[in-house]
Amino acid sequence: MVNRVWVAVLMALLPTVGGCADEQVPSPDGGMETHLATAGEALEAGDTVGYRDHLRAAVPLLPVGALDRPFQMYRLARAEAMTGNPDAAAQWLQTAWDENIESMMISYARIDPAFAPWLDHRAIAPVLEQMEDHAITVDTLAPGVYRLDAAGPKLLAVAGEGATLLIDAGYAPAAASIRRAIAAVGAPRVGYVINTHAHEDHVGGNAEFGTQAVIFAHPAVRDAMRETQPFVDGVTVPARSGDALPERSIARDTTLSIAGVTVRVIPLPAHTDGDLLVYLPGSHVLHMGDSFFPRTGRGMVFPGSEPERFVERLRGLLNELPDDTRVVAGHDPVVSLSELREQFARTVELVERIRTSVDDGLSVDSTVAVLGPEGFRESWVRYLHRVMGGGDRS
């Protein structure tokens, strides 16, 4: 069960993994995957030492730069905390912070029962204090349009008349740094926020910005935030209320004028049931949320649980956008529209091939045997075969 939850969470965070960690990283002896799976089983059985030891064995096998490395380092840190090693826990949190891939993930320590006895510990407290002090990297994509790297998630700040629109709110502890970065480029205070989906790295700052800003999101985001949300290994993100909740719902393709800036918001559930894409027609910038990992996704756009519907809708949008559109991804570098189109074409090909396979009654293993050698990742083939009606036949 824990393992299944872990896979579900990892998929939610990193759809590119597709629930099959062996493909994420080369691991000639398969040792890393085995250790990660066994760690989850040990925790489920109440064996916290086994949980820690399997993570100790697995984490060094993850190459620096792998997108799930900070996530697994976080798990190891909490396992060290649970087994009475706060110094080791602090070291892993610090390493996750220093490697600067998804640094702000360490903020989960503040809501994680594993760390509750240690939050004031002399080694752990200073590691967590760094989060409020983070210097955010800002890239100007167009006049008044800024991409912020909020220690993991990539946000857009769009300076309007008298107010700035923020696309995604980052993790909660990043809010002060985000405000400083926006002030430093001379943009007005944040008056509006659009959340691309309900995950903590995109809505955590809502509570802070929501006191002064109007927050827009898909209605599913508000619903999700009113419930506790699973994170990893039994840790949950608390339910939200008040200013943290989006007050304006966008469920249809909508063009808004926000502080004098024209903004097109396109609901396209895939990564979650409440994803929004956001396009700025005045500057030819598209924010894809977490539906697109151009670098770490290795050749795929994540089409979610209704792949054919997703493909049809995204195809329509990509045909409409100007060729010089730049594409912001939730956790990856900015890419050109042609790169998104190429990766999307590969996704479309896979979805079409799997449709044929399912309609022909081909089992998932036979489908993998055909598509694997053509470079389609096994985890994607298995996932799509299942959600497209192929069942679990093998």
Residues that bind Zn ion (CB under 5 A): 201, 290, 330
Give 24 or 38: the residue with its C-beta nearer to Zn ion.
Answer: 24
Residue 237 identity:
V
Q: What is the DSSP letter of 147?
A: E
The minimum distance between CB 221 and Zn ion, in angstroms, equals 13
Helices (H) and strands (E) in the chain, counts: 14, 15
Of residues 80, 90, 81, 88, the one with CA closest to residue 52:
80
Residues forming beta bridges with residue 248, ordered by sequence position: 216
The minimum distance between CB 102 and Zn ion, in angstroms, equals 8
Cα–Cα distance for residue pair 91/110, rounded to 1 Å: 16
Give 2 or 329: the residue with its C-beta nearer to Zn ion.
Answer: 329
Element (H, E) at 127: helix 124-129
Give 201 or 233: the residue with its C-beta nearer to Zn ion.
Answer: 201
Q: How far is CA 63 from CA 68, 69, 260, 275, in A?
A: 10, 7, 45, 30
Give 118 or 292: the residue with its C-beta nearer to Zn ion.
Answer: 292
Query: Which residue carries 């719902």 as its tokens?
Result: 249
| First and final C-alpha spacing in the chain | 22
The minimum distance between CB 70 and Zn ion, in angstroms, equals 12
Cα–Cα distance for residue pair 146/164, rounded to 1 Å: 10
Give 160 or 274: the residue with its C-beta nearer to Zn ion.
Answer: 274
Structure tokens at 67: 């997108």
What Rg do the C-alpha atoms of the chain give, in angstroms? 21
User: Looking at the chain, how many residues does it have?
Assistant: 394
Residue 334 DSSP SS3: coil
- Our CA dihedral for 59, 64, 65, 69, rounded to 10 degrees, sits at 10
Give 82 or 244: the residue with its C-beta nearer to Zn ion.
Answer: 244
Give 204 or 330: the residue with its C-beta nearer to Zn ion.
Answer: 330
Give 201 or 275: the residue with its C-beta nearer to Zn ion.
Answer: 201
Structure tokens at 283: 């500057």
CA 329: distance to chain centroid?
A: 10
CA 63: distance to chain centroid?
A: 19
